[in-house]
């Protein structure tokens, strides 16, 4: 499990997290919605900014996949979303770039302009101790599967986001005011 979240931004700026999958219509919107709810419930609104994007721009402007929307809605999460593509210039404003699988991690590290930017890229499931113990750090893409795959994806995302929240909370609470 990652022990700390990298940051090169001023301590007074909100901590900024961006979740990234392929098209930004399935996994990363799920993670964004789940993590945003956790941040709100932890009273960290205003201290932590949450966003998502895709490594590719195929779905720019589209809403989340209807199956993602259904799974999120049934679990009580927000479903508002518009897909967009991750841009290399965003690294400057982000503290943590959370990849949903190793392919995204590699793509994001290739986009990084500096070693510090590359160090900001982490796998989501690296924040889930059970996933780390099992050596299973990818969140599988549910897009070509059935609804059950989306439900399983949400469970993985929820478990990992809990661990991520602990790391982000420690980082935010450790910043000088």
User: From start to end of 22-133, where are the E strands?
Assistant: 48-54, 96-99, 121-123
DSSP, collapsed to helix, strand or coil, labels residue 18 as strand
Q: How far apart are CA 40 and CA 57, in angstroms?
A: 29
Among 172, 171, 165, 167, which residue's Cα sits nearest to residue 39? 165
| Residues known to be catalytic | 21, 27, 141
CA angle 153–158–164, rounded 5-degree value: 125
Give, in order, the Cα–Cα distances in Å from 12 to each of 38, 40, 136, 174: 21, 19, 35, 12
Q: How far apart are CA 61 and CA 63, in angstroms?
A: 7
């Amino acid at each position: 499990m990652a022990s700390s979240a990298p940051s090169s931004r001023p301590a007074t700026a909100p901590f900024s997290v961006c979740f990234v999958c392929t098209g930004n219509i399935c996994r990363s919107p799920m993670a964004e919605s789940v993590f945003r709810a956790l941040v709100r419930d932890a009273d960290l609104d205003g201290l932590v900014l949450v966003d998502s994007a895709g490594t590719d721009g195929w779905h720019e402007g589209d809403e989340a996949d209807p199956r993602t929307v259904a799974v999120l809605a049934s679990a009580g999460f927000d479903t508002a979303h518009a897909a967009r593509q991750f841009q290399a210039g965003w690294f400057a404003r982000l503290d943590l770039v959370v990849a949903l699988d190793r392919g995204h991690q590699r793509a994001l590290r290739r986009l990084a302009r500096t070693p510090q930017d590359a160090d900001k890229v982490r796998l989501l499931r690296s924040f889930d101790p059970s996933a780390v113990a099992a050596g299973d750090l990818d969140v599988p893409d549910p897009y070509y599967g059935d609804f059950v795959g989306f439900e399983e994806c949400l469970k993985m995302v929820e478990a990992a986001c809990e661990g991520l929240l602990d790391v982000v909370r420690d980082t935010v609470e450790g910043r000088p005011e």
